Amino acid sequence: MALADARRLDGLPCPVLPVGPPYRCGDLVDWLGLAFALPPGDPRLEDIFMGGDADTPPLDNLVGAVRYWDEHPEWMDFIDPSAPNHHDKLVERAIYLERWEAYLPGGARVLDLGGGVGRFAAWLLERDCQVELVDPDLRSLWRALSMAVQGSGAIDLHWATGETLPELAPVDVVVACEVLCYVEDPALVLEKIRRVLKPGGVLLASVEARWGWAMAPDVHEGTIDAFLGDGVVHQPGDRWVRTYTEDRLRRLLEDWEILELWPTHYALSGPFEMIAGELDVDEALALEARLRAHPVSGPLNRAFAVVARPR
């Protein structure tokens, strides 16, 4: 399920891979813009990619992503500077990196789990990291590779889920940004992460928070029961999200040492998006601090972010 196993969808031979894996980005230029398939870690991924339905609610996220690539590719490809949401996604990344950067040294070996089109991979590759990018959405992997070949560092790609994480050489850091809230079995995903981390390695993760999502502009109509009930947002064929309180997240990570845990209000795509307006990174970080400290806005965070390592 790695790049070495790729086959082009047009039937032509794949370009010869350089020495690796992972592969130096500058040596992958012949892969720029190619559409290819990898052996999927879960056969259901291939079915959904071909237009099938999910038979497990959390996989509705992938069903939705496949449709959005057809209907709104400009929004899905937010790593492109011309994308309408490019600026906001980079500001959101900066909100995480304000604390995560200290755990991501240059040259580190990093698993980017659920890495999508490469929002974090692009930043990591600029710092000459070795990136193993895993994602269930094949089109996102194509875009991530096209982004990577224009940079430095080294990368390999894997078409899989957190539950079907492939066997990898140990990594220094796992980035799982907005992943554990979308998977069927977060405890299993954490066990897979634990196995791939080097001794002393850390997990940088985030999840959707319990209350703030319901007041965000992208909330799906008809999900009021999730707000008033168990916090699981499910729109069949579109999305499935398990939202977390701080206590619930701490219980999930009870076998991990939590080094840092904090709320983020996602000022550009959370409940305060409309009144916040357009913000640069410094403005967004300053507003984050104000929202976090205020007694009313404090509990309305859009996500929780965490740094943890296995006990």
Write the pLDDT tens digit of every residue in 179-207.
999 999 999 999 999 999 999 999 999 99
pLDDT score at 215? 85
CATH number at residue 267: 3.40.50.150
- What pTM, to 2 d.p., does this model score? 0.96
pLDDT score at 1? 77
Query: In terms of residues, how long is the chain?
Result: 311
pLDDT score at 8? 97
pLDDT score at 29? 96
Write the pLDDT tens digit of every residue in 114-160.
999 999 999 999 999 999 999 999 999 999 999 999 889 999 999 99
- Cα separation of the two ends of the chain: 30
pLDDT score at 17? 96
pLDDT score at 217? 84
Number of domains in the chain: 1
Structural domain of 306: 3-310
Please compute, for residue 93, the number of CA atoms within 13 A of its CA located in the half-sphere on the CB side: 17
> What's the rounded Cα separation, in Å, for the pair 138 and 115?
11
> What's the rounded Cα separation, in Å, for the pair 100 and 279?
21
Q: Residues in the chain with pLDDT < 70?
A: none
> What's the rounded Cα separation, in Å, for the pair 53 and 94?
35
Cα angle 32, 38, 44 (rounded to 5 degrees) comes to 130
